[in-house]
Structure 1
Amino acid sequence: MSFRRGVVRQSKFRHVFAQAWKAEHCIDDVRVSRVTWDSPLCAVNPKFVAVIVESGGGGAFLVVPIGKSGRIDQSCPMVCGHAAPVLDIQWSPHDDNIIASASEDCTVKVWQIPDGGLMAPMTEAIVTLEGHSKRVGILAWHPTAFNILLTAGCDNVMLVWNVGTGELVYQLADAHPDLIYSVSWNKNGSAVCTVCKDKALRVIDPRRGTVLKVKEKVHDGTRPMRAVFLSDGKILTTGFSRMSERQLALWDMKDLSEPMAVQEMDTSNGVLLPFYDPDTNMVYLLGKGDCTIRYFEVTEESPYVHFLSLYSSKEPQRGAGYLSKRGVDVNKCEIARFYKLHERKVEPISMTVPRKSDLFQGDLYPDTAGLEPALLADEWISGQDAPPILVTLSRGYAAPTSKHRDTIRTKPKLISQDSGTGAAPPPSSTPPAKEVEEEEARVTARETTGNMDRSKREDDVLSELLSEMKALRAVVLAQSQRIELLERQLARIEDGDV
């Protein structure tokens, strides 16, 4: 295929390989929903795995702790408050215990899952959002504003809610003439891109209710499409050609007249679900009913979308959940993890970059979006935008020799204040940065000696670090005051007072 040319280029993700977990680590006896809606049917975060399941007399989904494996008992409690099948579920990006569900009963419900999972069936949602006149099949949490949730239904309407108050804050009823297939927020949540049954790609400002850009016929085929905003503002779409070949296309927001790249894959009729990792700029494509996962890297160099590899298994997937980056195992160089849905099983699949070094691989793990929201709901509603607040993944790394060494290495250095006047600290004073290094060396030496109990040693080291940091702060303060005194003396000399 034409896109295999991209494999020869240099990239740290060239050799990413996918590996299914062993059978004993899978979740068994899960009656995955047979609903015909083209959603992933699964949502995963660092605490929980949620799966939409078959249920009589309403809609339900299963929520289990992420470490759960083995058989799910038939009496296992579920979230079962909808009056009709559940079509989509999404975890809040800012609270790992909050999940939203959309249903054929025309409502969206928001649930608070207790730590450790459910002890009894959950029927009472913390918020029920009622505003759609037909079934609701799309949920999209705002990436940076707390408690902002976008919903889209078969009434061709998009609604934006403040979940904290249960208020409907924006309604976009006229933007789409037909069924909405997918919605994706851009990086800072100032706009969304959508694809619709009329084959058009739209970029919309939900606060103003205006369509900013439209591209007719992004894919010629009649089957459902998907679109996802990339972190640099480009848009990636999946769909079908006129000859029913599955396609992937990349679009530049500044000029939607022609795609930057188009790649054709095969003639399978399963809808391609794109999962995008903004940290690595990789895209994973899972087809519903397929046995494969394709993955690509998007770069600034032509042909822009580079095929990396393909994972193939014997059994087709009914759907899949994509684990947020905060949950991956950095000690094993895992850069992504999927939870593949079989007919009666949930199977984790890890995407790993092979590395021999035992050190934390910083180039594979740039800072990623953390739990803390950048904005409150009211701030976003009032017109503010903000990029996500990033966190380091190095804290999830455990060095093979010493638990403390990495913590000490990443401890912030204390730097003396420079007045900008040329006045230097007294020659007899030791620069704080050097003192910190000496103290770190002493702490490291103390760590490697002695045979104390591990937990006691951790407490001792922490206590020593805190006391030493306190002492070093005092040194910095004293030097700052000394510099200030010298500056005053210098000023008096220049003024002729001395």
Structure 2
Amino acid sequence: MTIAKMSWQPQYRSSKYRHVFGKPANKENCYDNVPITRSVHDNHFCAVNPVFIAVVTECAGGGAFIVIPIHQSGKLDPHYPKVCGHKGNVLDIKWNPFDDYVIASCSEDSSVKIWDIPKPYSTKNITNARKELLGHSRRVGLIEWHPTASNIIFSTAYDYKIMIWNLDNDDPVIHSPVRTIECHKDVILSMSFSTNGSLMATSCKDRKIRIIDPHNGSVLQESDGKTHRASKVLFLGNMKKVVSTGASRWNNRQVVLWDQDDLSVPLHQEDMDGSSGLLFPFFDNDTNMMYLVGKGEGNIRYYEIVPQKPYFQYLNEYRSNLPQKGIGTLPKRGLDVSSCEVFRFYRLVTVKGLIEPVSMIVPRRSESYQEDIYPMTAGTQPALTAHEWMSGINRDVITNNLALGYRKIAKRITDRRLESRNSFISNGLDLFECPPPKTENELLQMFYKQQEEIRKLREQLSQRDIQIRQLKLEIKNVHNSAAPY
């Protein structure tokens, strides 16, 4: 009798995101001396878009936040202007997804304010909001813009109510919402919308997760809250699933996956560890990658979500010795696609008053635009008006191709290079005798290298100027000491 020899080979799952890694920004690209809030509220405290970074801070007599142009890295001036006007601490801030110069804030003073950020950014404090929303009876802890409808914003407060506001009018003060959802019996801890905004998921202090129709406020699904105490809940794009983070009955940190049409039994759950810090979930609908950011620690775990079991494919973990108090994420349209960046975090590190960008990079040898990791993504055009949404209409988000913006930048750089080359050749000089670039990425790298060389030359000139001034002072002192009395 012959015995068949059994051979075992490990099964490796093919994925273009298997080797994604986190790359922290260089010191000169971080934001230093930032007065980050000392509040213990469980929010992100940071909101980012391709133009600005907004961070919750504090000021005398009320709450405030600061707005920093995203390219203005380095040390912040101690007297940097603030956006202030709330009478209590600011608890949450969110940029309008369709206008990079409009931001909403909510506060312990029970109000929501809508602010216009000037262009160029002001050097003075901004104290006058464009709109003030007054309707809640207790402090407002969360705000969320509707993902597809313009000028629709949701707010939730410690009065257990979710209020829906229509900003599409000229009234500077709105005293009542267009709709109120009153299905919760305790404080709402988080809100999340499905991709087209037709469904809303909430987690509540009563430990339950609810799937709600935002048009009429009806509860479509509800978990029992017995085995999993949910803190944060998040829709997973178009996968018809939601993920929640919280604690198990044994007080371990836990991540749970649910079918949005059935919250009676979880699809999958994982116990993480015994730490007490909150886990913030983030999801990238373009790559199906989920990130778990631990508050009070420096770790960012990331997974790829797949349709079948085991659902969570662990990829890797970014680690830092500096703990994060809050976190902001950049919309996909603001990423550096030339370096295969697929996600970017902005970590708030209170120990050093630091904002540290962390880029998630897909390592690729090819230097051309990578279409397979940059599918069509959400743009800045709303899919429907506030009136259309109020009448019960839902529409999918309008998407853009990131390749178009990339090609425009590459063409602009090429045009500038040709103009510079022609001007030098016309004067009998050719400073660009290096071989021509083979790819757009190589062209971008050459441009950035030239910009860096110009910056270094400016620094050298500044140092020489300081040396000249010192020499002049020394010569003057010598003449003064040699002068007859």
Question: Which one-letter code corresponds to 1:38 in the other structure?
Answer: D
Say if 1:392 and 1:123 are closer, same or farther in 2 by CA, change over 3 A: same
Q: 2:393 aligns with which of 384, 394, 415?
A: 384
Instruction: Show the 5 A alignment for 1:54-65.
Output: 54-65=58-69
Q: Which of 186, 200, 222 is matched with 2:194 structurally?
A: 186
Q: Is the 8 A contact 2:330 2:345 kept in 1?
A: yes
| Matches of 1:179 and 1:39, distance apart in 2 | 14
Q: Distance in 2 between matches of 1:46 and 1:313?
A: 25
Shift of residue 266, structure 1, vs aligned partner: 1.1
Between the aligned partners of 1:16 and 1:32, the Cα distance in structure 2 is 30
1:366 aligned residue: 375
Q: Equivalents in 2 of 1:308, 1:125: separation in Å?
A: 43
Match of 2:322 among 312, 315, 323: 315
SS in 2 for 1:336: strand
Quick one: which of 226, 236, 243 aligns to 2:232? 226
Q: Give me the whole-angstrom Cα distance separating, in 2, the residues matched to 1:290 and 1:151.
A: 28
CA change 1:109–1:404 in 2 (3 A) is closer
What does 1:329-478 align with in structure 2 at a 5 Å threshold?
329-343=336-350, 344-397=353-406, 403=411, 452=422
- Report the alpha carbon displacement of residue 322 of structure 1 after superposing the two structures with TM: 0.5
Aligned-partner Cα distance in 1 for 2:23–2:367: 20
Q: Take 2:210 and 2:319, find their aligned partners in 1: how far apart are those partners?
A: 33
Shift of 1:9: 1.9
Q: Among 275, 278, 282, which residue is 1:268 paired with? A: 275
Alpha carbons 2:29, 2:73 under 8 Å: kept = yes
Once the two structures are superposed, residues 164-196 of structure 1 have per-residue CA deviations (whole angstroms, 9 ceiling, x without a partner) of 2246111012x0001101011111111200010
Q: Deviations over 1:233-283 (max 9, x none)?
A: 211111111121111111112322221111121111111111111111111
Matches within 5 A, 1:105-254: 105-165=109-169, 166=174, 168-173=177-182, 175-217=183-225, 219-221=227-229, 225-232=231-238, 233-254=240-261
One-letter code aligned to 2:395: A
Counterpart of 1:17? 21
TM-score (norm 2): 0.80
Question: 1:337: Cα distance to partner?
Answer: 0.6
CA change 1:8–1:131 in 2 (3 A) is: farther
User: SS in structure 1 opposite 2:368?
Assistant: coil
Give the share of equivalent positions with the same residue, in percent. 45
Task: Please list the CA deviations of residues 199-231 of structure 1 after superposition, one character each: whole Å capped at 9, or x if unmatched.
Answer: 11101112212111111117534xx61001122
Q: Which segment drifts farther, 293-302 or 128-137?
A: 293-302
Taking structure 1 as reference, are residues 230 and 452 closer, same or farther at Cα in structure 2, changes over 3 Å only? same
Q: Cα distance, 1:54 vs. partner?
A: 2.5
Pairing partner for 1:285 from 264, 281, 292:
292
Aligned-residue offset at 1:49 = 0.3
Partner residue, 2:482: none
Residues 54-105 of structure 1: per-residue CA shift (max 9 Å, x gap): 3222001010111111111121111011111000000011101110001001
SS class of match (2:283): strand
SS of match in other structure, 2:244 = strand
The CA distance in 2 between the partners of 1:334 and 1:453, in whole Å, is 35
Q: 1:25 Cα deviation (Å)?
A: 1.2
Distance 1:250 1:257 in 2: 12
Runs of 4+ in 1 over 6 A off after TM superposition: 404-407
By how many angstroms is 1:405 displaced?
12
Please tell me the residue identity of whatever aligns with 2:45.
L
Match of 1:41 among 40, 45, 63: 45
The match for 1:259 is: 266
Q: Distance in 2 between matches of 1:382 and 1:399?
A: 39
CA distance in 2, matches of 1:453, 1:376: 49
| 1:466 paired residue number | none
Cα displacement (A) at 1:299: 1.2
Task: State the one-letter code of the partner of 1:286.
Answer: V
Q: CA deviation at 1:399?
A: 9.5
What letter matches 2:394 in structure 1? D
Number of residues paired by the alignment?
A: 405
Contact 2:237 2:283 in 1 (8 A): no
Q: Please give the alpha-carbon distance, in whole angstroms, between the structure 2 residues aligned to 1:404 and 1:288.
A: 41
Say which is worse superposed, 118-127 or 248-257, in terms of deviation.
Answer: 248-257
Native 8 Å contact 2:344 2:357 kept in 1: yes
The answer to whether the 8 Å contact 1:98/1:111 transfers is yes
Which one-letter code corresponds to 2:32 in the other structure? D
Instruction: Report the RMSD for the aligned CA atoms in angstroms.
Output: 2.3
Query: 2:221·2:262 contact (CA, 8 Å) conserved in 1?
Result: no
- Where structure 1 has 5 or more consecutive residues not aligned to the other structure, the ranges are 1-5, 408-446, 455-498
State the one-letter code of the partner of 1:230.
Answer: L
Instruction: State the match for 2:432 in structure 1.
Output: none
Aligned residue for 2:164, secondary structure, equals strand
Q: Which moved more, 1:374-383 or 1:182-191?
A: 182-191
Cα offset, 1:406, TM superposition: 11
TM-score calculated relative to the size of structure 1: 0.78
